[in-house]
Structure 1
């Protein structure tokens, strides 16, 4: 059984269309310890809701899957990278990334507002007040509920 995740990206930085065009890509630049730890738990073929954030409307726009498990995020070692971290080294990496592959783009966005309106998703990490994680687990019940909404 796969595990389920939600990963946020700003569409002007990396969108579901970018992933579709590339077919697969590293998910780099995560600089939150809890989000990093979630990525380190990911396994090949785990499924991911692809979420467009910091846009209007924000929401789930499609599905991706993990195609390479966590490995050191080399962008943290590059002083020219926006994700550079002087405390992260190849010998002692602080940050990790996974590779993700495109699965599908939905014909419509499932907005954060719609997700918050559903009592079945009241305990979902995403719908909790103040949550700003870019990577988070999704329960199998939440996954099933959300995919069922799209099939209606």
Structure 2
């Protein structure tokens, strides 16, 4: 299993929206960055991800699971763009802010710290466990 981070503006698509989709999940569509698209092409069923609220909140608020592997993004006819489907697994007991992440030396090399604009990004297992611990949330 691999770990990822999915960033979303909560005013557009927030954690409650993701939870409302239930077991069927939802396409992580609209991504128009080649690096983020390529990361989605690497994802496999069962991979886990952090659901991160960007803009004002800037915090990890939940855990999602990839429930459909890479396929054409239904929001465009341009065949360059793919997406995955994700479903909500559980909310964080305590959201973990970007400030907390930046303050933790275990997370100095995390892509979120170095490239906060990338909307889909990999997370190492060590980073996954550290952020789950900060959020008082089960890692598995």
**Cα distance in structure 2, aligned partners of 1:148 and 1:15:** 22
**Deviation at residue 108 of structure 1 after TM alignment:** 2.9
**Cα distance in structure 2, aligned partners of 1:106 and 1:144:** 13
Does residue 121 (structure 1) correspond to residue 107 (structure 2)? The answer is yes
Partner of 1:80: none
**Deviation at residue 151 of structure 1 after TM alignment:** 2.4
Structure 2: gaps (5+ residues) = none
If the length of structure 2 is used for normalisation, what is the TM-score? 0.92
Does residue 66 (structure 1) correspond to residue 52 (structure 2)? The answer is no
Does residue 94 (structure 1) correspond to residue 80 (structure 2)? The answer is yes
**Cα distance in structure 1, aligned partners of 2:125 and 2:94:** 22
Partner of 2:91: 105
Does residue 142 (structure 1) correspond to residue 127 (structure 2)? The answer is yes
- Other structure's SS at 2:118 match: coil
Partner of 2:54: 53
How many equivalent residue pairs?
135
**Which one has a bigger Cα radius of gyration?**
1
Partner of 2:9: 10
Q: Render the CA deviation track for 1:31-82: whole Å, top value 9, x for unaligned.
A: 0000000000000000000000112x211001000000000112112xxxxx
| 2:93–2:135 Cα contact (<8 Å) kept | no
Where does 1:19-34 land on structure 2 (aligned, <5 Å)?
19-23=18-22, 24-34=25-35
Structure 1: gaps (5+ residues) = 78-87
**Cα distance in structure 1, aligned partners of 2:6 and 2:60:** 9
Partner of 1:40: 41
**Cα distance in structure 2, aligned partners of 1:149 and 1:37:** 29
| 2:93–2:136 Cα contact (<8 Å) kept | no
